[in-house]
A and B are shown apart, each in its own frame.
Chain A
Amino acid sequence: MPNIDQTLEMQKLIQQCIQGKTKAQRCIYDTYAKAMYHTIIRMVPYKADAEDILQDAFIKVFQSLKRFENKSTLGAWIKRICINTALNHLRKDRPIDFYSIEEFPVEMPSVEEGIQYNVETIHKAIKILPQGCRTILNLYLFEGYKHREIATALNISESTSKSQYQRGRLLLQKELKSLDHE
């Protein structure tokens, strides 16, 4: 994430965006768009959908920027809008399928030996995961959400969030192994 948050220059940019100045909006877009796109594509693994969501999210950002209260960084605020827009998209498509660990008991891999981690392989493997556990894995591992926050955001129980996370981790290991052997 670029380190220009909360500076005087950023405050000036925000004011100019509120006044509808295109140059300032473009500057904020250029600063955050790529990172936000990757947050979205890990949740909605289709490029065209992810681009549409990014577009909708940034339109919301510029429309509601006057309500930004500096309680968090601008980047964190924009990311929350992007994640909510992506979640709405997933719910609109069909209800997100969350299974509890009781229904689908899985064992957490105790040792992850033999797997050489690689950024591109992990990125690719995450996109293959089932939608429910992929969403939770992303929010927990990449976006720093706690299980309580995930439960609130997705309207599920905290234990469902935990069980789905463990299931996601197991499936991810399997995908990574399979991609590793290719």
Chain B
Amino acid sequence: MNNDRLRDFIDKNRNEFDEVESPQLDHIWDDISTATQQDRPSHFKWIALVAFMMILLTAMWYNSYQTNQKLNRLEHFVMNSPTYQSEHQKLIKMVADKERLIEASDIKESEYIELFNELKELENNSEAFEKDFELYGDSSELMRTLFKNYERKAKILELLLFENEKKSQNENNNRHEM
């Protein structure tokens, strides 16, 4: 449009037309910023998740490390305490005594025969006592005698069992040494 005064005026003063009003730009920016923060690319979420996992694992490792340190300190304290030392020495002595007892309780072949004979005799006694029960009824004297008989049988059987276990153990040890 030729000779258009209005258009010429606007073109000449175009920038001033963008300065007439004073909008609340800072306030508007706050809302824009909030909206765009919620819209961040998804890899930020992944980075945040990985970072969180790293922190969690580090915390778990540190906690485990601290616990181990405490247990080590406690173990050190217990191992070096006089009570533990004393109890430990007692245990060592007890095991040594037991071993000596086992070595000392070796049974000779002739003694085996004696033990089996005694077992047989005790068996016979048991049968006799059972008959006495039928004949004389229950008496405390008879009961005590029968109990002692069984007690003696149990001891002999225990001794034989123990001897048998010891022999098996020795055989195993010899096999390993070979």
Which residues of chain A have a CB within 8 Å of any CB of chain B? 1, 19-20, 22, 25-26, 29-30, 33-35, 37-39, 41, 47, 50-51, 54-55, 58-59, 62-63, 112, 117, 119-120, 122-123, 141-142, 169, 172
With A33-B28, A59-B32, A169-B6 already in contact, the answer to whether A38 and B40 are too (CB < 8 A) is no
Interface residue from B7, B31, B40 paired with A55 (Cβ < 8 Å): B31
With A33-B28, A55-B31, A112-B6 already in contact, the answer to whether A38 and B20 are too (CB < 8 A) is yes
With A54-B28, A119-B17 already in contact, the answer to whether A37 and B23 are too (CB < 8 A) is yes
Report yes or no: B29 in contact with A26, Cβ–Cβ below 8 A.
yes
Main secondary structure of the interface of B (DSSP, over half): helix
> Which residue of A has the minimal Cβ distance to B32?
A58
For B37, list chain A residues within 8 Å (CB): 20, 22
Which residues of chain B have a CB within 8 Å of any CB of chain A? 5-7, 9-10, 13-21, 23-25, 27-29, 31-33, 35-37, 39-41, 44
For A41, list chain B residues within 8 Å (CB): 21, 23
Interface residue from B18, B36, B44 paired with A38 (Cβ < 8 Å): B18
Report yes or no: A142 in contact with B23, Cβ–Cβ below 8 A.
no
Report yes or no: B44 in contact with A29, Cβ–Cβ below 8 A.
no
Interface residue from A20, A30, A33, A47 paired with B41 (Cβ < 8 Å): A20
Report yes or no: A51 in contact with B18, Cβ–Cβ below 8 A.
no
Query: How far, in angstroms, from A58 to B32 measured CA to CA in the complex?
Result: 7
With A20-B40, A25-B33, A63-B36 already in contact, the answer to whether A38 and B28 are too (CB < 8 A) is no
- Chain B nearest CB from A122 CB (Å) reads 7
For B33, list chain A residues within 8 Å (CB): 22, 25-26
Which of A38, A119, A123 lies at the interface centre, i.e. has the most chain B CB atoms within 10 A of its CB? Answer: A119
Report yes or no: A119 in contact with B16, Cβ–Cβ below 8 A.
yes
> Which residue of A has the minimal Cβ distance to B36?
A62
> Which residue of B has the minimal Cβ distance to A36?
B18
Query: How far, in angstroms, from A119 to B14 measured CA to CA in the complex?
Result: 9
- Chain A nearest CB from B4 CB (Å) reads 9
> Which residue of A has the minimal Cβ distance to B20?
A123
Interface residue from B7, B21, B29, B35 paired with A29 (Cβ < 8 Å): B29
Q: What 5 A-B pairs have minimum CB-CB distances, sorted nearest first?
A: A35-B18, A38-B18, A117-B9, A20-B40, A37-B23
